[in-house]
Amino acid sequence: MNKFVFALLVILTTALMGSSFAVGKMGLAYFSPLLLVAFRFTIAGVVMAAAVKVWKRPHPETAKQWMQMAAVGFFQTAAVMGCIFLSLRTITSGESAILTFTNPLLVVVFGTIILRVRYRMVQWIGVVLGMAGVFITMGGRLDIEIGTLLGFMSAVSWAIATLLIKTWGFRLDTWVLTAYQMLFGGLFLFAGSFLLEEPFIEVNAASMFILIWLAFMASIVQFAGWFYLLQTGDPGRTSAFLFLAPFFGVLSGWLLLDEQLHLYVLTGGVLIFAGIFLVNWRSGPIQPAK
């Protein structure tokens, strides 16, 4: 791929990932959190399924595989996005973005404990740096508020989903898995909205623009662009550029919501970016422990 096109797609996809936090926070003026994200991913799942003609692609052959796809949908879409949008009620979009994108660090920890994967020393140095960055981003406090905890739990859920996809995903068509996990996640979120919150929606031009942006640009275009980058480039090197997403999250929060850029958040963010860079950059294949 042409280097200019690659760089442009990296900036586009990571900017869409990061800016969705600020746009999502704006949407909370018109939607309850879980209802907004439920609409977002149900719409995105239906449109993506139609766009790639998912019904013509290989589907799961057993009930177990359907359950696996539903589990991915629960962790990757429902739990991750539910925690993010709930966290936005009490912390800034920039802080939520930084905490959420610590997931590559947690993949190393969980992969070692659960899957007995062996990682290199440089990757563990990245984990230590990243976790120090998380502590600093939280303000170095032990009295963590609920939004901070939810932001971190979104990263935990994302890391679990990543390991599930690594374990089960090779048996499933990529686009079928992507579309259905969003649909399953949307259904879980609708259930969560009616069980865990008082759902509300205010229909006007602003709310519909935010919903359309989140469903199409921040979900469909972002997913399609990122998958294309992973398929046409080296996945390990490409994944290293995920550190740009929280940068754009902080930047968009500052531009769109006038959020203050506290020094401790920026310092913690730099350490987290460095940690993610070390975990991913030229890491090579990861090997199971013997």
Instruction: Answer whether residue 264 is part of any domain.
Output: no
Q: What is the pLDDT of residue 230?
A: 67
Q: What is the pLDDT of residue 285?
A: 44
The DSSP symbol for 31 reads B
Instruction: Answer whether residue 50 is part of any domain.
Output: yes
The DSSP symbol for 171 reads G
Number of structural domains in the chain: 1
Instruction: Answer whether residue 123 is part of any domain.
Output: no
Instruction: Answer whether residue 275 is part of any domain.
Output: no
Q: What is the pLDDT of residue 234?
A: 59
Q: What is the pLDDT of residue 286?
A: 46
Closest-CA residue to 123 (of 227, 240, 241): 240
Closest-CA residue to 200 (of 28, 64, 77, 3): 28
Residues 6+ apart with CB under 8 A from 116: 288, 289
Q: Give how far Cα 133 sits from Cα of 2, 130, 157, 256, 268, Å.
A: 34, 5, 19, 25, 4
Residues of the chain with pLDDT under 50: 142, 283-290
Instruction: Answer whether residue 111 is part of any domain.
Output: no
- Return d(Cα 198, Cα 24) in angstroms, integer: 18
Q: What is the pLDDT of residue 235?
A: 56
Q: What is the pLDDT of residue 203?
A: 94
Residue-number span of the structural domain to which 159 is assigned: 3-93+146-259
Q: What is the pLDDT of residue 39?
A: 95
Bridge partners (DSSP) of residue 117 are 288
Instruction: Answer whether residue 42 is part of any domain.
Output: yes
- Return d(Cα 138, Cα 132) in angstroms, integer: 10
The type of residue at 222 is: Q
Instruction: Answer whether residue 24 is part of any domain.
Output: yes
Instruction: Answer whether residue 286 is part of any domain.
Output: no
Q: What is the pLDDT of residue 95?
A: 83
Q: What is the pLDDT of residue 237?
A: 64
